[in-house]
Structure 1
């Protein structure tokens, strides 16, 4: 039997841009969260008494890894070394080998895979070879070619584990680095594929397991939910994968439908209830409240009320180690009107709505944002869902203006 831990995308010392407006104590906690998450990864490996640990790329957030990040990483790897737990590491696109850094002395039990060509390392226990571990580090930031053919085929002599930091072909939303097809990985006859690069937990295949563990700590509002690592057991042809949480800070979105509320005080009370329901011992929770539904008091959800409400439900949270901090309230509510009836009207509003339903020039409308010298550095391309949301919000604003009388 073989037992090991698989994690990826540590992004140690992530800068957490755009969060400076948060209270100082909470912001400092967020800044330290990637280190705390990796500390929990190591603690899990020790508690589970794993044979070894695999880190599938992007240990650091940037190619010029900070001395602080390297020092904190070494400290945790030394804890594993003291427990005789080897660590096998590949570098990904964020921490590729062309970067500049002060290289530290690492424990002898830590193996960093070389760049470019696939390297194969034997794991031995009590003088017996139990596994061959195959992988490569990014020798440059953008590895665009498929390198699966460079991995040797597996045999029945021992377990074979592949480490690959790359993007499964056909999956959008991520840079297509080191692309691969699932069928190619299955064809290698390996017992497990330890993937990295995608910050979401995804099991691409069950037998053999081909798994993205996701990152160990969410770094911004889009990386919501539980984050962590997997502990894998291989026993003959049987494989089990158990997820373990590691995040110190949880990003969360909570939708509140206000259609059944008769006044604003019910909204405030519901928000407080939700806040308490999200509290987790020892964890920090950053929550975005999204208000939805048709309501007679939609027009009362103005800037002054929302600012006061947010300040009230935030009060005192920065003093708690197990905090729940609502950092934003998004209004997606609508006045109560019959859209279907309005669409079928012959007046201007009906024509406007019919035009919105057939509008396909969102990219052109927002193109100036991405051409702006400063703004484009902080923007990512809109997804299809985000474009739909923009259209929905634009429609809401137009209708509110036109029908306010």
Structure 2
């Protein structure tokens, strides 16, 4: 009788009786969320609404992976998910709710395995970039730029992306007939604009067949070549180098190889513009949910990691951080995705919708909290590398 009374006195969360270990998990998770001003089943649009009480234990056990998967499974919702994540990350809840064993697994994988080896290089292309050009054409602007726009003087996503591409061209100091290597060229947004507006010859590298096909179509009448090739396999020399939103796929074990390769591919008086998402801290592992569902084998570099890798080969001429612009870019993509969903849902299921919506909104929240940055780094080639063991390939 006493046992029944104790259970009856327990709070009913999300329509499910919570007690024992699950009750303790709920108490802990709710106390952590409260630190960020978040109330489970609260009235604010950024408060999470829990439909399945097992969510508490799943998040406590698996951390960010459990949070994302339970959202995909319709176990919880949030009207303003991006704002919820902003508040959670500002309060550093992502650090206290890591999911210990999941974190250890990914930490060991990152330390013991080269997650971005040549053999693994094409995995992200097959899983993420080859998901379907129809999705990206609906979500992105006409440039098909899949990286942060530059909103300083822009009123629309298209204006912001054109401004970003033109800003990079200016930083590269492009001159007619120069040769430019675009490492990670995407669907050819930079190649098309640079060739058309500045009269340069662009070679673009991608590890996605879908990207290669569309980029070649977009640039068919321009001096542009698109190759399906890993950067480590590239040969030749170029006047200028650019990499937009690709360094996030390189990984700490390959940072030196990447910079050394860029050094070898560049003429002596060249300029290299590196455009990349950056972390406010140096990590060796990525968000486990992002790794599993969005960008396999990815790793967000810190500015310290970028500088350490570049130092033997390049002089850092300029660092430009416009991370808040990525929040605005991501929310524009999310609105486009939402509006296009009626036309996409015949080819993608509801679980994909929740996965993609979650990806865009948690990413926006991460930039809004300033946990993530967007760096454009201008590098000039050292005439002699500082690494005494460096040799031409």
Please give the TM-score of this superposition, normalised by the length of structure 1.
Answer: 0.29
Please give the TM-score of this superposition, normalised by the length of structure 2.
Answer: 0.30
* More RCO (CA 8 Å, sep 6+): 2
Which has more strand, going by share of residues? Answer: 1
Instruction: Give the structure with higher Rg (CA).
Output: 1
